[in-house]
């Protein structure tokens, strides 16, 4: 059957890696998800990346990582480790093709480890041997070797994987690394009235209302790995009575701790819209017994929203999925507050984003959804801005927006206070025009592939 003119337009837009959200609603998989990204070569914007395996795993205090891989696989993580001041906790055993072909690089690890352990000062409290994509195909069994190392050195040894070849699988590197990190927690001797936050790279801001809400319900602390200064202190996370995953990266870790130690968990991802925040807090209330009375927070946020809208005016805003795991919900929040959101750059539509996605299709049908990895981005990247403000580095790069809100990976954001941080950053971005080049901002943040 011949395609209608409208279908042809839609097909063209799909090829160009962007669609109106109203056109996408019937079949989001045409643009979002692994089937869509698998149907194109991938453009790798200079803003592509995140925390990466090294930086994430380095959150575990006193952990040493030895990458065993072709030298090229280690380069980005090593340079990023230097940028983040943790290269002294990462080493590389660069293997050659004949060692891979002959399957004897286990011997290389055994040979290298004594000399390496002698050099590491202070001695690590935990050790991770990290292999790369090729090992997914080789299927090496490391269990016996790791046990031997544990006996020899008296510290836990784990196998880690930095294997983007599994990105479309059930346990992609971002989830796997967190699972492996928290797998270093020993069985708790007793529980305390604390909650461990997993999935996020930074703790929720101390000013967030969630802390007071939990405290009022008798919870002593909302602990996060970034606040642990030693491996011993890290072990206190294992005593938590509840794990809270606020980003999907923490789900495998939380599931693993449930299976290993029976620690229950709740997945309550960051939200920004009033509806979304309230839903998260209601879910949390069920798991924690905390009371949800947010009228005052809501009222304060509305005042801030109005003041911010007065400053921002009709300026168009683009959002990308590196800023938050919930770009659709953030767009909804902004549109409900009267802002002009013009585009969302993302590759995914997770289930928790569906309600916001559907709301936007009805209330903002012309909102553009664009695939950051679309190959057309390399030649269609505009010389003149296509948005006035970008939330996230990738949106900034792909729209050439003059104002950048440098929010990344929901760091510190949660609840009403999280949205207030977005408003404050929006206002701040207006007075920070080009004071720092985007390239410098990206490098200063230290995005890792």
Partner 1 sequence: MSQLLFHLPPFAADYSGVASVLHDLGGLVVIHDASGCTGSYTGYDEPRWFTSRSSVYCSGLREEDAILGNDEKLLDNIKRVVAEREFFFVAVVGSPVPMLVGFDFAGFANLIEAETGLPAIGFTTSGMPYYHVGMATAFKVLAERFVIDQRPPTPEGVNILGASPLDDFDAATLDAMIECLASVDIKPVSIWGQRSGLDAINRAAGASVNWVVSSAALPLARHMQERWGIPYVVGLPASPAATEQLLAALRRSANGIITTGSASARPTTSTNGSNVDICLLGEQLRMNSLRIALRCERPDAAVNVASFFSWDDGLAESGDSGLDGEEHAAEYLASLSPAVVVGDPLLRSLLPSHLQSRFIDEPHRAISGRLFRHSLVHRFHAEGARFASELLEAADAAR
Q: Does 128 interact with partner 1 (rule: CB under 8 A)?
A: no
Task: Compute CA 243 distance to the chain's CA centroid, rounded to the nearest angstrom.
Answer: 17
Q: How far apart are CA 334 and CA 190, in angstroms?
A: 44
Angle, CA 170 vertex, CA 168 and CA 172 arms, to 5°: 60
Strand partners, 403: 389
Interface positions, 146-165, toward partner 1 (CB under 8 A): 162-165
Which letter does DSSP use for residue 103 in this model?
T
Q: How far apart are CA 244 and CA 254, in angstroms?
A: 8
CB closer to partner 1 out of 163 and 342: 163
The conformational region for residue 17 under phi > 0 = left, psi -120 to 50 = alpha, else beta, is left
Q: Does 384 interact with partner 1 (rule: CB under 8 A)?
A: no
Q: Does 137 interact with partner 1 (rule: CB under 8 A)?
A: yes
Question: Do the beta carbons of residue 448 and residue 51 sit within 8 Å?
Answer: yes
Binds partner 1 (CB under 8 A): choice among 3, 102, 123, 167: 167
Q: How far apart are CA 233 and CA 257, in angstroms?
A: 18
> Is the N-terminal amide bond of 400 cis, ω within 30° of 0?
no
Question: Do the beta carbons of residue 195 and residue 245 sit within 8 Å?
Answer: no
Interface positions, 410-439, toward partner 1 (CB under 8 A): 438-439
**How much is the CA Rg of the chain, to the nearest whole Å?**
23
Using the contact rule CB under 8 A, the part of the chain among 85-93, 328-336, 348-356, 426-434 near partner 1 is 85-93
Using the contact rule CB under 8 A, the part of the chain among 132-140, 193-201, 272-280, 327-335 near partner 1 is 132-140
Q: Does 139 interact with partner 1 (rule: CB under 8 A)?
A: no
Within 8 A by CB and 6+ apart from 392, the residues are 319, 320, 321, 322, 323, 324, 327, 345, 405, 407, 408
Using the contact rule CB under 8 A, the part of the chain among 180-188, 319-327, 349-357, 371-379 near partner 1 is 371-379
Using the contact rule CB under 8 A, the part of the chain among 114-122, 179-187, 204-212, 427-435 near partner 1 is 114-122
Binds partner 1 (CB under 8 A): choice among 9, 116, 171, 226: 116
Helix (H) or strand (E) holding 231: helix 231-235
CB closer to partner 1 out of 79 and 278: 79
Q: Does 375 interact with partner 1 (rule: CB under 8 A)?
A: yes
Nearest to 415 by CA among 265, 298, 285: 298
Q: Does 168 interact with partner 1 (rule: CB under 8 A)?
A: yes
Q: Does 102 interact with partner 1 (rule: CB under 8 A)?
A: no
Using the contact rule CB under 8 A, the part of the chain among 22-30, 72-80, 147-155, 277-285 near partner 1 is 72-80
CA dihedral 339→396→426→244, nearest 10 degrees, is 100
Q: How far is the CB of 152 from partner 1 (least distance, A)?
A: 18
Q: Does 379 interact with partner 1 (rule: CB under 8 A)?
A: yes
Nearest to 183 by CA among 106, 107, 126, 105: 126
Q: How far apart are CA 428 and CA 213, in angstroms?
A: 29
Q: How far is the CB of 39 from partner 1 (least distance, A)?
A: 7
CB closer to partner 1 out of 4 and 119: 119
What are the CA-CA distances from residue 381 to residues 5, 240, 429 (Å)? 26, 47, 22
CB closer to partner 1 out of 342 and 377: 377
Q: Does 357 interact with partner 1 (rule: CB under 8 A)?
A: no
Show the site string, 22-41: x = touches partner 1 by CB under 8 A, - = not: ---------------xxxxx
Binds partner 1 (CB under 8 A): choice among 51, 105, 234, 339: 105
Q: Does 106 interact with partner 1 (rule: CB under 8 A)?
A: no
Q: How many residues bind partner 1 (CB under 8 A)?
A: 66
Binds partner 1 (CB under 8 A): choice among 8, 230, 428, 443: 443
Binds partner 1 (CB under 8 A): choice among 10, 56, 132, 178: 132
Q: Does 48 interact with partner 1 (rule: CB under 8 A)?
A: yes
Could you write out the DSSP letters of every residue in 389-440? EEESHHHHHHHT-SEEE---TTTT--HHHHHHHHHHHHHHHHT-TTSS-HHH
Nearest to 164 by CA among 302, 72, 279: 72
- Residues contributing to the site for partner 1 (CB under 8 A): 15, 37-44, 46, 48-49, 69-76, 78-79, 81-83, 87, 91-97, 99-100, 105, 108, 112, 115-116, 119, 132-134, 136-138, 162-169, 373, 375-376, 378-379, 381, 438-439, 443, 447, 449
């Amino acid at each position: 059957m011949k395609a209608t003119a409208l279908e042809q337009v839609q097909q063209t837009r799909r090829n160009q890696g962007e669609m109106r959200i109203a056109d996408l609603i019937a079949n989001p998989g045409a643009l979002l998800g692994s089937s869509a990204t698998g149907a194109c070569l991938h453009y790798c914007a200079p803003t592509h990346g995140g925390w990466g395996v090294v930086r994430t795993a380095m959150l575990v205090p006193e952990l040493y990582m030895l990458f065993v891989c072709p030298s090229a696989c280690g380069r980005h993580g090593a340079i990023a480790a230097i940028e983040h001041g943790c290269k002294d906790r990462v080493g590389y055993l660069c293997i050659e093709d004949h060692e891979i072909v002959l399957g004897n690089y286990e011997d290389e690890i055994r040979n290298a480890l004594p000399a390496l352990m002698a050099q590491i000062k202070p001695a690590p409290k935990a050790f991770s041997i990290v292999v790369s994509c090729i090992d997914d195909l080789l299927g090496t069994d490391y269990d016996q070797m790791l046990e031997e190392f544990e006996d020899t050195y008296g510290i836990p040894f784990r196998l880690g994987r930095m294997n983007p070849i599994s990105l479309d699988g059930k346990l992609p590197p971002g989830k796997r690394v967190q699972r492996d990190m928290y797998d270093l927690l020993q069985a708790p001797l007793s529980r305390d009235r604390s909650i461990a936050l997993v999935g996020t790279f930074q703790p929720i801001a101390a000013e967030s209302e969630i802390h007071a809400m939990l405290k009022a319900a008798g919870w002593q602390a909302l602990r996060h790995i970034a606040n642990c200064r030693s491996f011993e202190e890290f072990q206190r996370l294992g005593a938590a009575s509840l794990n809270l995953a606020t980003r999907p990266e923490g789900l495998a870790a939380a599931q693993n701790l449930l299976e290993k130690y029976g620690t229950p968990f709740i997945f309550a991802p960051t939200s920004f819209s009033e509806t979304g925040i309230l839903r998260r807090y209601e879910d949390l209330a069920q798991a924690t017994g905390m009371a949800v009375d947010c009228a005052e927070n809501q009222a304060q946020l509305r005042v801030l929203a109005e003041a911010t809208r007065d400053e921002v005016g009709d300026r168009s805003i683009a959002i990308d999925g590196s800023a938050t795991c919930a770009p659709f919900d953030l767009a909804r929040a902004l549109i409900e507050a009267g802002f002009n959101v013009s585009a969302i750059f993302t590759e995914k539509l997770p289930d928790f984003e569906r309600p916001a996605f559907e709301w936007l299709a009805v209330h903002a049908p012309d909102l553009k959804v664009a695939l950051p990895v679309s190959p057309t981005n390399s030649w269609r990247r505009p010389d003149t801005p296509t948005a006035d403000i970008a939330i996230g580095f990738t949106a900034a790069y792909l729209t050439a927006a003059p104002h950048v809100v440098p929010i990344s990976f929901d760091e510190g954001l949660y609840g009403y206070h999280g949205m207030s941080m977005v408003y404050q950053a929006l206002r701040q971005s207006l007075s920070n025009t080009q004071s720092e080049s985007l390239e410098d901002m990206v490098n200063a943040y230290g995005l890792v592939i």
